[in-house]
Amino acid sequence: MTAADPLARLGPKTQAWLAELGVYSHAQLVELGAVEAFVQLKARGHTVARTLLWALHGCVLGCRGSELDAELRESLWQAARARPTPPPPLDWAEAERWMALALALAHEAAAAGEVPVGALVVKDGQVIGRGFNQPIGRHDPSAHAEMLALRQAAATLGNYRLDGCSLYVTLEPCPMCAGAIQHARIARLVFGAHDGKTGAAGSVVNLFAEPRLNHHTAVYPGVRAAEAGALLSDFFRARRARSPA
């Protein structure tokens, strides 16, 4: 890329993001289009603002985003909002491998007498946060597996925004955890078993499909669902057997 290339105006971070889309030149950005580039960057978990959309379109036109008139900026923003956000790609074999680690964490919860749910946060192929259910042991109603994994991941990165991260959890998140996942800007949620009582990813409600929310996490259900469901069923069956009639 040369200094004369309009793409150089976007700055190194945006150029790196565009490289993930295979866009290395002004001509490639023109071919993809500013709106499509913006939507795809959002789908990959990057925190994007409308100013980036305007900058991208300005680059297409050979000017700065601040030079676009208000009517054009608004039309671009409405077009981006109307465009369905494509889910980021999921490698199913890799997802099953990460879910196996989440299931191991769920077994730790069961051994501690907690509802067996495990979760982990992954970024760039590395686990940066882990958690298993501990509301009983911690005397904390918010100590769900997802919440603990998110807290550890945020501490690892030094940022509550977990851009580009994936969360793997053995059970469909509840509304509390779903809200935290969205707030953390998690790019992908992969879960095992559905939860017909409190599931907030489609079983009872679907907070991830609410169009009025600012961030939209891509959701992939059913990874190693049979194992996750069996672990929960066995736990509750054993607990009922120990309870007095």
- The per-residue pLDDT for range 21-40, each reduced to its tens digit, is 889 989 999 999 999 999 88
* 0.95 exceeded by pTM: no
**Domain made up of 6-82: CATH architecture:** Orthogonal Bundle (1.10)
State the pLDDT at residue 2: 47
Q: From CA 210, how far away is CA 205, in angstroms rounded?
A: 10
- Check 31, 94, 108, 146 and give the catalytic one: 146
State the pLDDT at residue 87: 64
Q: Which two tokens stand for residue 81?
A: 């909002």
Contacts of 160 (CB under 8 A, 6+ apart): 154, 183, 184
Binding site for Zn(2+), residues?
A: 144, 174, 177
What is each CA distance from 125 to 98, 132, 205, 215, in whole angstroms?
A: 10, 20, 31, 23
pLDDT for 47-101, tens place per residue?
A: 788 999 999 999 999 898 999 999 999 999 999 888 766 666 678 899 999 999 9
What radius of gyration do the chain's Cα atoms show? 21
Q: From CA 89, how far away is CA 151, in angstroms rounded?
A: 25
Q: From CA 100, how far away is CA 86, in angstroms rounded?
A: 26
Residue identified by tokens 């993001």 is 17
Assign domain 92-242 one CATH number from 3.60.110.10, 1.10.10.60, 3.40.50.300, 3.40.140.10.
Answer: 3.40.140.10
Domain boundaries, the chain: 6-82, 92-242
State the pLDDT at residue 1: 46
To the nearest 10 degrees (0 to 180), the angle between helices 145-157 and 175-183 is: 20
Binding site, residues?
A: 144, 174, 177
> Does pLDDT of 3 surpass 70?
no
- 74 catalytic? Reply is no
